[in-house]
Amino acid sequence: MSNGIRVTVWNEGVHEKESEAVQKVYPKGMGHQIAQYLEKQSGIQSVHVSEMDHKQQGLTDEILKNTDVMTWWGHTAHHMVDDANVDRVHQRVLDGMGLIVLHSGHFSKIFRKLMGTNCDLKWREIGEKERLWVVDPAHPIVDGIDEYIELPHTEMYGEHFDIPQPDQQVFISWFEGGEVFRSGCCWHRGKGKVFYFRPGHETLPIYYDETILKVIANGVRWAAPSGVATLTRGNAKPLEDVKPSM
Ligand code: ZN
């Protein structure tokens, strides 16, 4: 970590290959659009883009071992991610790798496994306005962000969002149609940190919005491994001189 954060942007990469409408918005794929921004940000050493049609779905041991923070975008092929790969990403998170789950990644196997709930929500696709309100102004993820972010045309996600109570709630969204949504949520899982961030949709240019990209970069810095170097579990000898009484 001393040389900076090594990021893997995991992008499902199916819509971009199958839909002309999506190709128009993201000709190189959403993963590369996010990666080209992260590459230029301070504190980030390297950015690798993994896609599902890569070797071992872009989740080889070598890649996982060399990833400090992973971002995850998926939508149409969640069920095609191998359970064994999900288990390995899960273990890496518990061991300290940060995970940023984006938009429709709420239904990914890895997010649902980390949350322990179904992670279902309400949605509507009519291109309405969204305001993401900062509700934790001291949080590092909102460093340099105004009190709200306004997106003129978004897909709506509404409550109830079936997640465990976040350890830290960073954003709450308001939508033109009346719904609200917990659109920026943080959890600790083992030694790892998880940030769910709502914005993004395959046919909307959300990942060209500099403020949204800035939040993702802040999220990467927040989720980077930190904390104690060693944890001991199992049967342990006392640190002090204790006379056994049993
Ligand atoms: Zn969407």
Domain map (residue ranges) of the chain: 5-117+184-223
Cα of 203 vs centre of ligand 1, distance in Å, is 8
Cα of 65 vs centre of ligand 1, distance in Å, is 30
Cα of 240 vs centre of ligand 1, distance in Å, is 56
Cα of 156 vs centre of ligand 1, distance in Å, is 8
Tens digits of residue pLDDT in 54-113:
999 999 999 999 999 999 999 999 999 999 999 999 999 999 999 999 999 999 999 999
β-bridge mates for residue 180, sequence order: 174
Amino acid at 122: K
Tens digits of residue pLDDT in 179-196:
999 999 999 999 999 999
Cα of 107 vs centre of ligand 1, distance in Å, is 11
Distances (CA, A) of 147 to 105, 143, 192: 25, 11, 27
Could you give the 3-state DSSP secondary structure of residue 186? strand
Cα of 147 vs centre of ligand 1, distance in Å, is 24
What is the CATH code for 5-117+184-223?
A: 3.40.50.880
Cα of 157 vs centre of ligand 1, distance in Å, is 9
pLDDT at 229: 85
pLDDT at 204: 97
**Pick from 43, 35, 40: nearest CA to 4:** 43
234 CB burial (10 A radius; 0-12, 13-18, 19+): exposed
Cα of 201 vs centre of ligand 1, distance in Å, is 4
pLDDT at 22: 96
Tens digits of residue pLDDT in 201-214:
999 999 999 999 99
Cα of 80 vs centre of ligand 1, distance in Å, is 18
How high is the mean pLDDT of the chain?
A: 97
Asked if pLDDT for residue 172 goes beyond 90, the answer is yes
Query: What's the token pair of residue 114?
Result: 């980390």
**Pick from 232, 210, 160: nearest CA to 33:** 210
200: left (phi over 0), alpha (psi -120 to 50) or beta: left
pLDDT at 2: 54
| Residues 199, 206: Cα–Cα separation, whole Å | 7
pLDDT at 9: 98
Tens digits of residue pLDDT in 3-40:
899 999 999 999 999 999 999 999 999 999 999 999 99
